[in-house]
Amino acid sequence: MNSSVIGKFAENAVNFLFNHFQGGFNAFSAALGAVVKLLEDGLGAIPFVAMLVFLVAFALWRRGIAFAVFVGIALLLIHYMGLWPQTVATLALVVAATVFSLIVGVPLGIWGARNKRVEMILRSLLDFMQTMPAFVYLIPAVILFGLGRVPAVIATVVFAMPPVVRLTTLGIRQVREELLEAGRSFGSTDAQLLWKIQLPNALPSIMAGVNQTIMMSLSMVVIASMIGAGGLGEYVLSGIQRLDIGIGFEGGLGVVLLAIVLDRLTETFGVKSKKRRTVTKAGKAGTTEAAHS
């Protein structure tokens, strides 16, 4: 099977990058690899019980008792299946990919919100990135970065970044015009407008993007196991290779449980913390209001 001119072009482009910037890619690869390794080792060094207690407590704080119980059961189940090390490895990859997506995606999103033309270009680029089958990214990633965690993270970032860019742009665009007017009328600089008004008010939308990015990285990390990402994906992959239903199911279940925990926890950061405040302050507000009316 041979590719046409278009395919040749893509191939040449990747080869060009490989031939001319190999040094740069190697350095970047090493740096990224070190970060991911540090993350994995760091998370791996935490004993299971400590992690369990921390996550359950965190779940209790963010969502309440029911979800805390669920997190406890999910983690114990993963541990019981003997998949804890793999889960930690996957978690490390997801965290690394998400952080990189944010580092690249949020500024791009801000740029897109400020400039219509940039937004148009970004939009077509993001559509392309999102709809291109995820497997395709694995090929250039392997050529440029070899096998292992680094190309997995890179491929994941490319696949999972679009929501954070889109929702950052959307969030900033949705900040009410009169808030910007108020900001300007009090003499804000553009940077003050961004940091004090636009970003804080776009935060719920940005956090929704982060949530989606995490979910997409999780699905990509499994696919990326084909190029040596390790973790739960590798377990699933071995299930496929051996046609072992049991291994495949257990690995898959691990991914599902991790996904639910991450999703529900990050989701809570999208909603304003106002609701919790209102409950504590309502009594006071009521009494003072009465005094003034």
| Binding stretches for other proteins (CB under 8 A) | 176, 178-179, 181-189, 192, 196-197, 200-201, 203, 272, 274, 277-278, 281-282, 284-285, 288-289, 292
Residue 82 has what DSSP assignment? T
CB of 177 to other proteins, least distance (A): 9
**Which residue type is seen at 175?**
V
Q: CA 187, 189, 194, 200: dihedral to nearest 10 degrees?
A: -40
CB of 24 to other proteins, least distance (A): 39
- Residue spans of alpha helices (H) in the chain: 5-20, 22-45, 48-62, 65-80, 84-114, 116-131, 134-145, 149-160, 162-173, 177-185, 190-192, 199-223, 232-242, 245-267, 274-292
CA distance 67 to 108: 34
Residue 242 or 281 with smaller CB distance to other proteins: 281
CB of 267 to other proteins, least distance (A): 19
Residue 8 or 281 with smaller CB distance to other proteins: 281
Residue 6 or 291 with smaller CB distance to other proteins: 291
CB of 186 to other proteins, least distance (A): 4
- Written as six digits, the tokens of 34 are 């070190």
CB of 240 to other proteins, least distance (A): 47
Residue 243 has what DSSP assignment? T
Q: Which of 65, 89, 84 is nearest to 74 (CA)?
A: 84
Residue 49 or 285 with smaller CB distance to other proteins: 285
**Which residue type is seen at 250?**
E
Contact assessment for residue 211 and residue 266, using Cβ atoms and an 8 Å cutoff: yes
Residue 138 or 210 with smaller CB distance to other proteins: 210
Residue 60 or 180 with smaller CB distance to other proteins: 180
